[in-house]
A and B are shown apart, each in its own frame.
Chain A
Amino acid sequence: MENSLLTLLVFVPLIGAVVVAVMPKELARVVGLAATIVTFALSLYLIPPFLAGGEASQAVEVFGSAYGEKLHFVERLTWITGGSFTIEYFLGVDGLNMPLLVLTTLVSMLACLASWNFNTWKVTKSIKGYFVLFLLLETGMIGTFVALDFFLFYIFWEVMLLPMYFLIGVWGGARKEYAAIKFFLFTLAGSVLMLVALVAMFFYSGEAVSGEPVASAYRDGVTLTHGTFDLIELATNETIQDYFGSAMFLGARFAPVMFIFLFVGFAVKLPVVPLHTWLPDAHVEAPTPISMILAGVLLKMGGYGFLRMCYPIFPTGGEFWAFLLAVLGVVSILYGALCAMAQTDFKKLVAYSSVSHMGYVLLGIAVMTHTGFQGAMFQMIAHGISSPMCFFLVGVIYDRAHHREINRFGGLWLTMPKYGTMATIGFFASLGLPGLCGFIGEVYVLLGTFEARHTFAWAVPCAILAASGVILTAGYVLWLIQRVYLGPEKPEYAGYPEASGREMAILVPFAAFCLLLGILPKHMLFDYVNGTLEQIVNSVLVATQHATTFAAGL
Chain B
Amino acid sequence: MRCTGSARFATSSMSTLSNYETYLILGVLIPFVSFVILMLFGPRLGKPLAGWVAVAAMGASCVLATMTLVGWRGEDSIARMSLAANAAEHQFHWADMGSVAIHIGVKLDSLTVIMFFMVTFISFWIFVFSVGYMAGHSDEVGGKSKYHRFFCYLSLFGFSMLGLVVSSNLLFLFIFWELVGLCSYLLIGFYFDKKFASNAAMKAFITNRVGDFGFIFGLMMVFFFLGTLDLDRAAAVFAEQYHGHTGLFEDGFVLDIFGLELSGMALATAMGIGLFCGAMGKSAQFPLQVWLPDAMAGPTPVSALIHAATMVAAGVYLVARVFRLLTPDAQMFIAVIGCITLTLMALVAIVQTDIKKCLAYSTLSQLGYMIFGLGVGAWIAALFHLMTHAFFKAMMFLGSGQVIEGCHHEQDMRKMGGLMKKMPMTGLTFLVGVLAISGFGIPATQFGLGGFFSKDEILAVAWDRSHMWNEPIGHHDDGGHAGGTATADRVAHGFSRGGHEHVDRSSPPPLKRWATHVELASDQHGGGGHADGPHEADAHGDGVNRAGIAPLPKWMFWCAIITAYVTPFYMMRAWWMTFMGKPRDEQVYEHAHESPLMWVPLVVLAVFTLVSSYWLFRPMLADAAPEATDAVLVVGLDGTAAAVDGAAIHLHAAHRWLAYGVGGSWLIAFVVAFAIYRNGLAVGTRLKSLFGPIATLLERKYYFDEFYGFLFVRGCVVVAHVCRFFDTYVIDMLANLSAKITERFAVFSGRGVDAYIVDGVFNGVAGTAMDISDVVRSPQTGRIRNYVMFAAGGAAIVILLLLFFDGSAGARAALTSMNS
Which residue numbers of A lie inside 8 Å of B, CB to CB?
55-56, 82-85, 126, 129, 158, 162, 165-166, 169-170, 176-178, 180-182, 184-186, 188, 191-192, 195-196, 199-200, 203, 214-215, 218-219, 224, 249-250, 273-274, 277-278, 280, 335, 338-339, 341-343, 369-371, 374, 411, 413-414, 428, 433-435, 439-440, 443-444, 446-448, 450-451, 453, 457, 460-461, 463-464, 467-468, 470-472, 474-476, 478-479, 482, 485-489, 520-522, 526, 530, 534
Contacts and interface: CB of A to CB of B under 8 A. Distances in A.
A169 B790 contact: no
17 contacts: A83-B820, A84-B820, A165-B779, A177-B776, A177-B777, A188-B790, A214-B810, A219-B809, A280-B727, A338-B719, A339-B724, A374-B97, A414-B141, A440-B95, A463-B217, A471-B209, A471-B210
Interface string B250-261: 000001111000
Contacts of B794: 188, 191-192, 195
Interface string B158-191: 0000000000000100111111001001000100
Nearest to B797: A192
B216 A443 contact: yes
Contact of B720 (A249, A341, A478, A521): A341
Contacts of A370: 97-99
B176 to A, nearest CB: 8
A434 B794 CA distance: 45
The residue among A434, A448, A467 with the most chain B CB atoms within 10 A of its own CB is A434
A251 to B, nearest CB: 9
Contacts of A526: 95-96
Contacts of B769: 181, 185
B255 A460 contact: yes
B807 A55 contact: no
A82 B717 contact: no
A479 B780 contact: no
A521 B102 CA distance: 11
Contacts of B177: 434
A270 B115 CA distance: 47
B142 A215 contact: no
A37 B224 CA distance: 44
B193 interface: yes
Per CB-CB distance, the 3 closest pairs between chain A and chain B, nearest first, are A370-B98, A342-B724, A434-B175
A169 B776 contact: yes
Contacts of A371: 97-98
Contacts of A162: 787
A478 B797 contact: no
B94 interface: yes
B93 interface: yes
Nearest to A452: B224
B795 A489 contact: no
A218 B216 contact: no
B805 interface: yes
Nearest to A370: B98
Contacts of B176: 434
A369 B142 contact: no
A82 B775 CA distance: 36
B193 A411 contact: yes
B193 A488 contact: yes
A472 B716 contact: yes
Interface stretch (B198-206, B234-242, B335-343, B369-377): B198-206
Nearest to A444: B97
Nearest to B142: A414
A140 B17 CA distance: 52
B220 A218 contact: no
A470 B212 contact: yes
A522 B94 contact: yes
B192 A374 contact: no
B810 A218 contact: yes
A433 B185 CA distance: 12
A166 B795 contact: no
A447 to B, nearest CB: 6
Given A177-B773, A475-B716, A374 B206 contact: no
A468 B776 contact: no
Most interface-central of B213, B258, B765 (chain A CB within 10 A): B213
Interface string B789-817: 01101110110011001110110111011
Contact of B179 (A181, A434, A444): A434
B731 interface: yes
A530 B96 contact: yes
B52 interface: no
Contacts of A487: 192-193, 195, 198
B206 A342 contact: no
Contact of A448 (B98, B206, B734): B98
A540 to B, nearest CB: 14
B559 interface: no
Contact of B798 (A196, A274, A339): A196
Contacts of B820: 82-84
B539 interface: no
Interface in B721-763: 721, 723-724, 727, 731-732, 734-735, 739
Contacts of A414: 141-142, 144, 193
A467 B216 contact: yes
Most chain B CB atoms below 10 A, which of A180, A219, A338, A526: A338
A343 B780 CA distance: 32
B731 A342 contact: no
A466 B550 CA distance: 36
Given A218-B809, A250-B805, A447-B223, A180 B779 contact: yes
A335 B731 CA distance: 12
Given A214-B813, A342-B720, A434-B175, A471 B144 contact: no
A468 B176 CA distance: 20
B252 to A, nearest CB: 14
B797 A196 contact: yes
A338 B93 contact: no
A522 B96 contact: yes
Report which residue of B256, B723, B731 has the largest number of chain A beta carbons within 10 angstroms of its beta carbon: B723
A471 B806 CA distance: 51
B14 interface: no
Contact of B202 (A177, A185, A433, A482): A482
Contacts of A478: 185, 201-202, 205-206
Interface string B66-103: 00000000000000000000000000011111110100
Contacts of B723: 335, 338-339, 342
A177 B810 CA distance: 40
A218 B817 CA distance: 12
A185 B765 contact: yes
B216 A461 contact: no
B768 A453 contact: no
B720 A451 contact: no
Nearest to B96: A56
Contact of B731 (A55, A277, A444): A277
B631 to A, nearest CB: 26
A454 to B, nearest CB: 9
Contacts of B142: 411, 414, 488-489
Given A178-B773, A488-B142, 12 more contacts: A83-B820, A181-B772, A185-B739, A215-B809, A277-B735, A371-B98, A461-B258, A464-B257, A474-B206, A476-B720, A488-B194, A526-B96
Given A83-B820, A191-B794, A482 B198 contact: yes
A182 B97 CA distance: 39
Contacts of B206: 471, 474-475, 478
A413 B192 contact: yes
A525 B217 CA distance: 25
Nearest to A473: B209
B178 A434 contact: yes
Contact of A447 (B97, B212, B780, B813): B97
Contact of B812 (A84, A218, A250, A467): A218
Contacts of B793: 192
A200 to B, nearest CB: 8
A485 B769 CA distance: 40
